[in-house]
Amino acid sequence: MSADELVALVCCDLGAIVRGRALFSSALDARLTEGVGWVPANHALTPFGPIAEPNPFGATGDLRLTPDPTTRVRVGEDGASALHLILCDIVETDGSPWAACPRSFLRDTLALLDSELGARVMASFEHEFQLLLDAPAALPFSLEAQRRAEPFATRVMNSLVAAGVEPERFLAEYAAHQFEIPLAAAEGLASADRAVVFREVVREVARRLDARATFVPLLDPSEAGNGVHVHISLLDGGGGSLFYDSSRAGCLSELGGQFAAGVLRHARALSAFTAASPISAARLTPHRWSAGAVCLAERNREALLRIPPLVTLGEEDPERQLRLEYRGADATANPHLALATILRAGLEGIRERLPAPPILDRDPAELDAADAKRYGVGALPSTLQESLQALAEDDTARAWLGPLLYEAYVSVKQAEIDAASGRELEENCRRYAAIY
């Protein structure tokens, strides 16, 4: 590593844009505690560039970005301006957590699950993305599509290994030039940190090949979108699953059922954090294999919450595999906020001992009104404005964030809605593809 290499101290903001400041890596050790300066109004910046108005910050205040050295990532060859970054907490100048720091919000949420349930969270973020290419696309899932993606495919997988995010597979997905890379589950904060790092490494590897990778939720409204599926399980102190019970429907324990019920109860408010852009809801319509309805299902890709299959071939242990997959997120969502709010919703379900939701065994779009009621199937908001409205009306969900984080988040999202209004979906998809 050359002495004058830059290392970026960064955070992921409310619009899931990674921002920060870089310093010489030789100067890093002296900065590990005090970090670098930061400004509250940076968290009123919209993904389109301008600051959202009104916002709770104005021109006043000073913060610090303090690095978490465990998140340090360096990808690239010596002498070739490596991507070198460290994720940071946003703190006050005395080091106390800043009330609108998404990473601290997730940390607090994890602490609640630990103190109330003795639970540790394992999670992984499964991303889809597309390369922006003019060439005609090869067939979905085909070897041809994978081979045409070389040398990107091999380079990105190796760079992700170097970044420590444990990529498991590379696959060509359904839409044109669309790919998916699932990551191994990690504990708590690290799982969301991995999602932030993953996106930056994928973009970087494409950039070095003069290409662009986009995580836009929907590139072409006539095609499949790019989802982020969040897989979650809770473990007890000894590492046993709190979600697994082979005697129950779907092998989902009573506690797992309560968690699922909490997520479904708050699903409409949650979508303000997980389907976070004005184009996100257009991905979440029936028959896109994203999440067409608010319900729990097993092995069914139309449900917001899915129980993925338990593979009993070979030596696989079903208990270790049992997890809930939240399919309603995309990469316009800040991963820390998304995971934290899903966990808060699940925790509410556990606190209230909600009954396990029925497990839907068919296409939610085909149900008549009586069956929809029987299976507890509801609709997701059809716009971000509706999601924000659902959040405003859900006193419990609003209280998870605290007033500053709530106000800042809503101001950024409202500004985005205003900036996207009056334009066709296709145009907004193109605009978001240029940003994400």
Would you tell me which residues interact with ligand GLU (CB under 6 A)?
A: 128, 224-225, 227, 283, 288-290, 301, 327
Residue 225 interacting partner from Mg ion, ligand GLU, none (CB closer than 5 to 8 Å by kind): ligand GLU
Residue 283 interacting partner from Mg ion, ligand GLU, none (CB closer than 5 to 8 Å by kind): ligand GLU
Q: How many residues does the chain have?
A: 436
Q: Give me the residue label for tokens 């590990």.
A: 32
Comparison of 180 and 325: residue with beta carbon closer to Mg ion: 180
- Beta carbon of residue 128, minimum distance to ligand GLU (angstroms, whole number): 5
Contact at 8 Å (CB) between 17 and 45? yes
Helix 267-274 vs helix 384-393: angle between axes, to the nearest 10 degrees?
130
- Please state, in angstroms and rounded to a whole number, the distance separating the CA atoms of residues 296 and 257: 10
Residue 261 interacting partner from ligand GLU, Mg ion, none (CB closer than 5 to 8 Å by kind): none
- Beta carbon of residue 86, minimum distance to ligand GLU (angstroms, whole number): 30
- Beta carbon of residue 328, minimum distance to ligand GLU (angstroms, whole number): 8
Residue 316 has a CB neighbour count (10 Å cut-off) of 11
Comparison of 225 and 257: residue with beta carbon closer to Mg ion: 225
**Window 266 to 295, contacts with Mg ion (CB under 5 A):** none
- Beta carbon of residue 186, minimum distance to ligand GLU (angstroms, whole number): 20
Instruction: Identify the three-state secondary structure at position 233.
Output: strand
**Window 147 to 186, contacts with Mg ion (CB under 5 A):** 180
Would you state the structure tokens that stand for residue 410, as one six-digit string?
Answer: 């809503």
Comparison of 128 and 245: residue with beta carbon closer to ligand GLU: 128
- Beta carbon of residue 179, minimum distance to Mg ion (angstroms, whole number): 9
- Please state, in angstroms and rounded to a whole number, the distance separating the CA atoms of residues 4 and 21: 15
If 0-12 CB within 10 Å is exposed, 13-18 middle and 19+ buried, where does residue 287 land? exposed
Residue 327 interacting partner from ligand GLU, Mg ion, none (CB closer than 5 to 8 Å by kind): ligand GLU
- Beta carbon of residue 329, minimum distance to ligand GLU (angstroms, whole number): 9
- Please state, in angstroms and rounded to a whole number, the distance separating the CA atoms of residues 154 and 145: 13
84 forms beta bridges with: 74
Residue 301 interacting partner from ligand GLU, Mg ion, none (CB closer than 5 to 8 Å by kind): ligand GLU
Where do the DSSP E strands lie in 119-201?
Answer: 120-131, 171-172, 178-181, 186-187
Q: What is the dihedral of CA 117, 269, 418, 106, to 10 degrees?
A: 0
- Beta carbon of residue 125, minimum distance to ligand GLU (angstroms, whole number): 12
Comparison of 48 and 289: residue with beta carbon closer to ligand GLU: 289
- 348 scored as a contact of Mg ion (CB under 5 A): no
- 325 scored as a contact of Mg ion (CB under 5 A): no
- Please state, in angstroms and rounded to a whole number, the distance separating the CA atoms of residues 172 and 147: 10
Instruction: Identify the three-state secondary structure at position 167.
Output: strand
Residue 177 interacting partner from ligand GLU, Mg ion, none (CB closer than 5 to 8 Å by kind): none
Closest residue to ligand GLU using C-beta atoms: 227
Amino acid at 129: F
Site of interaction with Mg ion (CB under 5 A)? 180
